Structure 1
Amino acid sequence: MPVSTLDHPDGSLALSRPGKAAALRAWDAADELLLAEAHARFTPAEKPRMLVVDDQFGALTLGLAAFKPDLVADSATVPGALVDNARLNPALAAPARVHSWLNPPEGRYDIVVLRIPRHSDYLAWLLRWLNGVLADDGLILAGGMIKHLPDRGVDVFAQAVHTEQVCPARKKARVIVCRPGAAQLGEWAGTWKGYTLENQALKVQALPAVFARDKLDIGTRLFLPHVRKAVSDVPSAERVLDLACGNGVVGLAILDERPDLAVTFSDVSSQAVASARHNVQAALAAASVQFEHADGVPREAGKFERIFLNPPFHEGGVVGDHIALRLFAHAKQHLAPTGRLLMVGNRHLGYHRSLRSYFPLVRQLDANPKFVVLEAAFR
């Protein structure tokens, strides 16, 4: 993988970016500005308790290694990227543990270094959560690329924290310096949003970092009748996988149709996994289920008689089929010999062609102007 060098006040870092987007840099100007601001305001000798939130590939965590920061990240890709980049910088050690929203760290922190997310609801959630873990005189350094800052970002900050300084923009990035405010998560109505499946009693809710959390997306709407049909003939107690599960709506539909099946929910987002678990416990608490926070399918997960997939098509600003191709490879490894993979995806991405690189049998089950439902099998 190509390696680029990030110079910062405490030295330099060799960093690489995993996956198909490896040709892109593993850091950006927002990481650079956040490192400069953190080092300008604190020294390791002061021993501030530091938390890094949603580092992407390890630039912030490794660039602040002298402070021995804790790290919490929604994405399951972060731990692996951090380990890989720590190997490129032998003098630095990755944290022994990367927290997620399934096992968040506990405060109080003197300084938080935050990558500003693209979505305003997730930013609002994060700032309120941070208010609960920051020391009374704690500091938030929040940074991001200007083109990726969420809509209404100024209002989101104003409603949750006290903005102390908006630093001048540099290299199309910006850092905002904040102090904790009074807004708390327990008082915020935006933590959960959801909907009820049409003609059913199943209620589906999700946390702010989850795709399509407040309404059923049109791809899944096309997909669900085929999901129900595909599990109708599966033998009792067989294993089924809701891959890239999001809020778990596909797995919930499976359990509603066939409560005798064992369903595994897997997603790269810890907030998605937490949301799917929340929904299953609320509607089908006695179901045989398993939840995996993973970038795809864990190696030890075994085989599944059915795998269902609605793959994301964007990751950290990179748009395309690279996530789907990675998930197709995982599905090939974990699909039982007699099993079937069903997927729904954006029609223009040509998934019917790429699926044939992994499975000998591919057929179209349904389509509309934007989405296509495909089935793949070994025989």
Structure 2
Amino acid sequence: MHPQFSEKNRTMTTEAVLANHPFILHRFPLEQKNRSLQAWDAADEYLLDHITSEYPNAQSVLILNDSFGALCCATSIIYAKEQVLPSLFFVSDSFVSKAACQHNLIENQLPSEHVTFLDSLANLPTEIDLVLIKIPKNAGFLQYQLSLLSHLPADIPVIAAGKAKEIHTSTLKSFNHFLSEPKTSLAVKKSRLIFSNTTAKPVASKFPASWALENTDFTLFNHANVFSRDSLDIGARFFLNYLPAGKKPLKVIDLGCGNGVIGLQVLNRMPNSKVTFVDESAMAVASAQQNVSHNLPTRLTDCQFIHNDCLTDFAPNSADLVLCNPPFHQAQAITDHIAWQMFLQAKHTLRNGGELRIIGNRHLDYQDKLQRLFGNCKVLGNNKKFTVLSVIKRS
């Protein structure tokens, strides 16, 4: 065990009691340094207590946006009847959330055969007794998910949970637009529930959205849960000024690709390149693939599109260049562990002499971190908000 991950600290942050049942729940990735972040929250507790008392007999449950499997594990126990587990449908856009749920089922000695794992673009099952939703941070993504629920049969209870401060009037309007008129609970531990029902009145989704990429002939398509889905974000706009060009046959990875605009421009500027698009969001990977297919269809054979936890399980010494705009949050938690994971795995994946090129907010001080990890770091450019850095892997 890593010395920073003491057994005492691990126990303090993984032992949960949900709906009067004890669980061991790990937040992913396991290697992150901040073990004080829990794999469940007060909204999970509130939601599970409510369904235990009000919906004791559900046997087919649809669960959306369960961050680390807390709801999946708890409902497995709540709705177990004579050692027969319920049918659960776990729907997530996140590769990490799915991996965490699978790990936590095993950790709690629960089989996974009763759980059907679906990504965010899959068709939803129709034979459902109950729908549980953790309200996502992205309002457009919530609207997309509610539009899917509007196509289900009528009168299925839908119960959503989230932090009280993040449930706005606009949130309730979204429920009312796609489902029945919502009601809300009292706030408990700064969390709140929303109660609604399906109405069998389908409402179409406005996603994927599309827009013209400035200074190009490209049109970009963005699914609902992709960052900056309506226009080019300012970080990507600045990073585009520092992308490679030329005829070298480089193997390039667009890490945390989002809609794939960075990799798309690499393909456009480097006719002999091969680009791998990687993101832990299924919608991001699908958006990147659609954007290459629409804008540079002849280059599809030079691309791979991979839904993954950063560069986990990538072959060592297999890439010439990794391009990345690292996130500094995971859901609502501010954390740098994803950036560190990206840097470490990029070093493992790059060949000797290969380059990691990133853009980051200037206040994050990636320059010092990369200098310590790679032994070198060069500033390629900066403005008031962002800096572009380059490091070389040396043997």
2:101 is matched with which residue: 69, 82, 88?
Answer: 82
Instruction: After superposition, give the CA deviation of every residue in 1:29-80 in whole Å (9 maximum; x if it has no partner).
Output: 1101111222223335x53x21111101111000001333110111111122
- Taking the aligned partners of 1:59 and 1:314, their CA distance within structure 2 comes to 20
Matched, 1:207 2:220: no
Name the Cα RMSD after superposition: 2.0
Instruction: After superposition, give the CA deviation of every residue in 1:241-295 in whole Å (9 maximum; x if it has no partner).
Output: 1000001110111111124321111111111111111111111222121111111
Look up the match of 1:232. Answer: 246
**Residue 71 of structure 1 contacts residue 98 of structure 1 at CA under 8 Å; is this kept in 2?**
yes
- Deviation of 1:110 after TM superposition, in Å, equals 2.1
Residue pairs, 1:159-178, within 5 angstroms:
159-178=177-196
- Deviation of 1:164 after TM superposition, in Å, equals 4.8
Cα distance change of structure 1 residues 199 and 270 upon mapping to structure 2, 3 Å threshold: same
Cα distance change of structure 1 residues 135 and 22 upon mapping to structure 2, 3 Å threshold: farther
Look up the match of 1:72. Answer: 91
For structure 1, which segment, 254-263 or 208-217, has the greater mean C-alpha deviation from structure 2 after superposition?
254-263
- Taking the aligned partners of 2:213 and 2:277, their CA distance within structure 1 comes to 18
Look up the match of 1:373. Answer: 388
Cα distance change of structure 1 residues 183 and 203 upon mapping to structure 2, 3 Å threshold: farther
Letter in 2 for 1:22: R
- Deviation of 1:135 after TM superposition, in Å, equals 3.0
SS of the residue corresponding to residue 98 of structure 1 reads strand
- Taking the aligned partners of 1:139 and 1:89, their CA distance within structure 2 comes to 28
- Give the share of equivalent positions with the same residue, in percent: 33
- Deviation of 1:128 after TM superposition, in Å, equals 0.6
2:19 is matched with which residue: 9, 34, 44?
Answer: 9
Residue pairs, 1:234-313, within 5 angstroms:
234-235=248-249, 238-287=250-299, 288-301=302-315, 303-313=318-328
Instruction: After superposition, give the CA deviation of every residue in 1:169-205 in whole Å (9 maximum; x if it has no partner).
Output: 11111111111145645x33x3122432222111112
- Taking the aligned partners of 1:362 and 1:150, their CA distance within structure 2 comes to 44
Cα distance change of structure 1 residues 68 and 357 upon mapping to structure 2, 3 Å threshold: farther
Look up the match of 1:364. Answer: 379
Look up the match of 2:212. Answer: 196
**Residue 365 of structure 1 contacts residue 374 of structure 1 at CA under 8 Å; is this kept in 2?**
yes
TM-score by length of 1: 0.91
**Residue 253 of structure 2 contacts residue 323 of structure 2 at CA under 8 Å; is this kept in 1?**
yes
**Residue 266 of structure 1 contacts residue 294 of structure 1 at CA under 8 Å; is this kept in 2?**
yes
- Taking the aligned partners of 2:49 and 2:229, their CA distance within structure 1 comes to 36
Matched, 1:35 2:51: no
**Residue 310 of structure 1 contacts residue 343 of structure 1 at CA under 8 Å; is this kept in 2?**
yes
- Taking the aligned partners of 2:281 and 2:167, their CA distance within structure 1 comes to 20
SS of the residue corresponding to residue 277 of structure 2 reads strand
Cα distance change of structure 1 residues 273 and 111 upon mapping to structure 2, 3 Å threshold: same
- Taking the aligned partners of 1:135 and 1:181, their CA distance within structure 2 comes to 7
**Residue 175 of structure 2 contacts residue 182 of structure 2 at CA under 8 Å; is this kept in 1?**
no
TM-score by length of 2: 0.87
For structure 1, which segment, 263-272 or 280-289, has the greater mean C-alpha deviation from structure 2 after superposition?
280-289
Structure 2: which 5+ runs fail to align? 1-9, 81-85
Cα distance change of structure 1 residues 148 and 330 upon mapping to structure 2, 3 Å threshold: farther
SS of the residue corresponding to residue 125 of structure 2 reads coil
Look up the match of 1:318. Answer: 333
Letter in 1 for 2:22: S
Matched, 1:54 2:69: no
